[in-house]
Every structure is written in structure tokens, then in C-alpha cells.
Amino acid sequence: MNRILAIASLQIRAAIRSKLFVSLMVILVLVVFGFPMTVKGDGTLAGQIKVILYYTLGLTSIILGITTLWVSSGTIAQEIESRQIHLIAVKPVHYFEIWLGKWFGLLTINAALLCFAGLIILALVHWNVKAGGKNNQERRIVKEQLLAGRRLIHPRDTLQQEVFTRYHNMLSNGMMSPELSRDEAFSEIKKQLLAEKTVIGPSSVKKWILEIPSFCSGKGYEIEKFELKVRFSPVRKGDNPVFGEWRIGTERNFILFKMTTDNNLDGMHQITIPLTQSVMDTVMVQSGEAGNHSNRKMILEYRNGDGEKSRTVVFDRERGIELFIRESGFESNLVRSLLVILCRLALLAALGLTASVLFSFPVATFSAFSVILVSIVTHYFVVMMATDIGSCCEAHSQKSSDHSFWQVTSEKTAKKLDTIFEPVMRLKAVEPFSDGVLVPWEDVGEAVFTMAIIYPGLLGIGGLLLFRRRELALPYT
């Protein structure tokens, strides 16, 4: 352990001597303070704070990520080419201690820089809230919606299961045309279900079920800690307003809360439904069964007015219904976000060090960045394929005759690769943090396990096997 710490300290001192550490600190200061001045929000204090949180933390993670990948790709490769590695290799130091010491040194540097950036962001946000708020109402909105860690709850998405169930019901009842292929049938059924779930015509009713997490008892929470946001828009323009009634309740007592909306809408509209303490306490008590709090459900219902009073509305597919429950403060949420970013930087450092063991500095840098590019493109390709209903039931689908061999092979290859990249791509910190959404400790634990232990461990084992086989005494010119 002492040898690993000694190599890590040498890596840290080398970064300080090369002015890399100081240069990154200066760049982070310029980014955190300078970039929000060039990008303006919507003119409100909340818009300004959101710009500060999203762009400063996002650019910080990008700058540190690129620098980490570049430095780690040349750390061991340059020492081999300059023969400085001989000063360590001839000592009683194992190869894995060299790799692990370099990785731990880079991780320490990134941790210090993230702490520095986090303190600046924290000070900048509090200064803007104190000096930029025109009235107490703006400050209250910012503190409740952005400077908080709010757990986000969506209605359960059962679209894929419903598509598969309806397809087999139609097939067994003889309602499916024999000329229609499986993929075409899935696509048509998906369109029908999406219309049923998101489009609500006049005199129609739509219900959503929101499952309340078991950690929330309902007691001791303030009124402002519960917030329900709804996003919808009219299908077409018209003279009639969007008139409807919102109801909130449980299966035992359905009407705990009622609210009527009557708005003239032309585009996307967002409303916030206040949830009082008495409503949430009743939901917590009545939706559980005999003390079992795992199945507590809140039922939300929207009753659209008739054709003379209202118009057809469509709800946002991804963010139509959102329930926010405040669970932590701003500072703790910032710490968790920085920990997730640090775990991602640890994975990048491991990737660069493994490439540095195998290749020269330019080739190692190119290879490491290529892996990152391939992971991003592959994940995007798989996500785009998921919009096709034929891939949502891939376990039951059949290969269409009009698909070429190369198309089928590329899709299968992309999906196999995405199973490796998906655990890393799925964990996000910047976007939820900038929206005031909670970055839970569960995500931090998963990030530590996957991006700081499992993946770096596998890369470290591969780097160790390659390092032991590499000839360190070759004459370099």
C-alpha cells in the first residue's frame, strides 16, 4: 500500500510541477464565473440559476473528463518512451502497483478539482439568489424548485407490456389481418395505445396512478415539499379554452382534492397542482394495506369538458405527469452529483491508463477517445431503435424478410455493445441536479460499484496483463 501511495504522490507532484493542476483551476474559475455571463436565461431568477447549475457543472465535467482521458493516455506511455519507467520497474514494485498508483493519483487530482469547482458553484448560486432576486416570491420559487433535492416520480410506463398483450389478444380473436407483418402490427398498436394514453378529447376522462415510495411516511413533511406538475397542449387552435377538472385521491377515497382549469392555450402549458399536508397524509394512510407501505398509490384524474367548453388536449409523453417530493437540501444534492461525476472520471482514467500501457501516447489517446465516441454513438443508435415498436418486444419478434444481413448484424452488435455501455450512460448527475431533481444515494452507490470498482477493475486486470508482456527496454527514437 505504501508503494501505491508513493506512486500516487509522484503523479500528483508531476501534475503540480507541470502547471496542469493550476491551469485547470484557472480554467474552472473562468468557466464557472464567465460562462453564465454570456448565456442568459429567460429573464427570471429561476432561469438564471438553472443556467448557472447546468452549464457550469456540465462544462466542469466535460473539461475534467477530456483532460483526464488525455493525461491518463500519456502517463505510462510517455514514461516508457522516455525510459523514466526504468527508475520504477527495477525496484521491488509490482506492475499492478504502478497502474493502481497512477490511477489513484489521477483520482485524487480530480477529487480536489471537483471540490474546488463545487465550492465556487455553491458560492455563486447563493450570491445570485441573495443579490438577483427582485422579490421574495422569486427567491421562494428558486429555493423550492431548484435549490433542493426532489425525488421525481412518474406514472408507471406499461406501454411495451400492453402492446404485446393487445397483439396476442387480437391474434387469438382473429382480429389481426394475415397480410400485416408482426413489426407493422406492433407499430399500429403502439400508435393506438399512445393516442389512448396521451390524447384526451372533449367529455373524456383519463387516470394516472402514481406509486408513493415506501420511505415517505407523509408525517413531518411541509406543504411545499409536495408538488405535482402537468404538461399538456391543445391539439389545434380554437376559440374554446381548455376547460377541465383535476381530481386527486386514492382507491378508497377518490376525491381528496379538486381543481378546475380554464385557460386559452396555443402551445405547451404547465400547471402546478398544490398538494396540502392533509391530502398527502390521507394518501399515505388510505393507500396502504395493514401497515404495508410498499403499495401506496395516488390516483390522478383529468376530466375534460364537453365540446362546447373545451378542446382535445395531448399530454407530454415523457414529462406529462411529474410528482416531486422534496427529500434533501441543495448542498447534499450537489455532493452526490459531484460523487457521480468523480466516479465517471475514475472510469475515464482507468480507460486511458490501460490504453497507455498498450500503445504510444498518440495512439493511446486516439484509442481511448474512440472508445468513448463508439459508446456514445452506440447508445444513441440503440435508443433510436427502441422508438420502433418492433424492438420493444425483441424477445418475441421475428426477423423481417426485408432486413438485410448487414442490418440485422449491425443491430445485434449495437445492442450487445450497449449492454456494456448502458450502466455508465444511464447514470446522470448534471441534468437532474440542474432541475432540482434528487440524485439519490442509490445512484451514487451504483456509480461507485460500476464506474469506480467493476469497470476500472476489469480495465486494471487487462492493463496488468498487457503491462507485463510489454518490452520496456526497446530503443525508442
Give tens-digit pLDDT for 90-110: 566 777 888 888 899 999 999
Question: What distance lies between CA 338 and its chain's CA centroid?
Answer: 13
Report how far residue 22's alpha carbon sits from residue 30's, in angstroms, rounded to the nearest whole number.
Answer: 13
Task: Say which amino acid occupies 156.
Answer: R
Q: Bridge-partner residues for 199, per DSSP?
A: 314
- In 133-276, which residue ranges form alpha helices assigned H by DSSP? 136-145, 159-172, 182-198
Task: Please state, rounded to an integer, the average pLDDT across all residues of the chain.
Answer: 79
Residues near 296 by beta carbon (within 8 Å), at least 6 away in sequence: 211, 212, 214, 283, 284, 287, 288
User: Cβ–Cβ contacts within 10 Å for residue 120, how many?
Assistant: 18
**Contact status, residue 210 vs residue 225, Cβ threshold 8 Å:** no
What pLDDT is recorded for position 112? Answer: 93
User: Cβ–Cβ contacts within 10 Å for residue 408, how many?
Assistant: 12
What pLDDT is recorded for position 390? Answer: 41
DSSP code of 279? H
Question: Per-residue DSSP letters for 70-118?
Answer: HHHHHHHHHHHHTTTTHHHHTSS--HHHHHHHHHHHHHHHHHHHHHHHH
Task: Say which amino acid occupies 242.
Answer: V
What pLDDT is recorded for position 398? Answer: 42
Instruction: Please give the backbone phi and psi of residue 355, each rounded to the nearest 5 degrees, phi first.
Output: -65, -35
3-state secondary structure of 138: helix
Report how far residue 216's alpha carbon sits from residue 209's, in angstroms, rounded to the nearest whole number.
Answer: 17
> What does DSSP say about strands 297-304 and 199-200: parallel, antiparallel, or unpaired?
unpaired
Instruction: Please give the backbone phi and psi of residue 154, each rounded to the nearest 5 degrees, phi first.
Output: -105, 155
DSSP code of 267? S
User: Cβ–Cβ contacts within 10 Å for residue 23, how many?
Assistant: 12
- In 258-315, which residue ranges form alpha helices assigned H by DSSP? 277-286
Report how far residue 355's alpha carbon sits from residue 353's, in angstroms, rounded to the nearest whole number.
Answer: 5
What pLDDT is recorded for position 477? Answer: 43
What pLDDT is recorded for position 444? Answer: 93
- What residue ranges define each of the domains in the chain, with the CATH number in brackets? 2-149+331-360+430-469 (no CATH), 159-328 (2.60.120)
pLDDT band at 187 (very low <50, low <70, confident <90, very high): confident
What is the pTM for the complete model shown?
0.82
As a whole-number percent, the residues of the chain with pLDDT over 90 amount to: 16
**Average pLDDT value for residue range 137-150:** 83
Report how far residue 216's alpha carbon sits from residue 201's, in angstroms, rounded to the nearest whole number.
Answer: 35
Task: Say which amino acid occupies 210.
Answer: L
What pLDDT is recorded for position 242? Answer: 79
Among candidate residues 353, 308, 344, 359, the one with its CA nearest the CA of residue 446: 344
Q: Which residues of 46-78 are buried (b: 16+ CB within 10 A; e: fewer)?
A: bebbbbbbbbbbbbbbebbbebbbbbbbbbbbe
Among 57-71, 296-310, 437-451, the minimum mean pLDDT is found in: 296-310
Greater confidence (19 vs 410) lies with 19
**Contact status, residue 284 vs residue 217, Cβ threshold 8 Å:** yes
**Contact status, residue 9 vs residue 104, Cβ threshold 8 Å:** no
Instruction: Read off the C-alpha cell for 395.
Output: 424477445
Greater confidence (290 vs 116) lies with 116
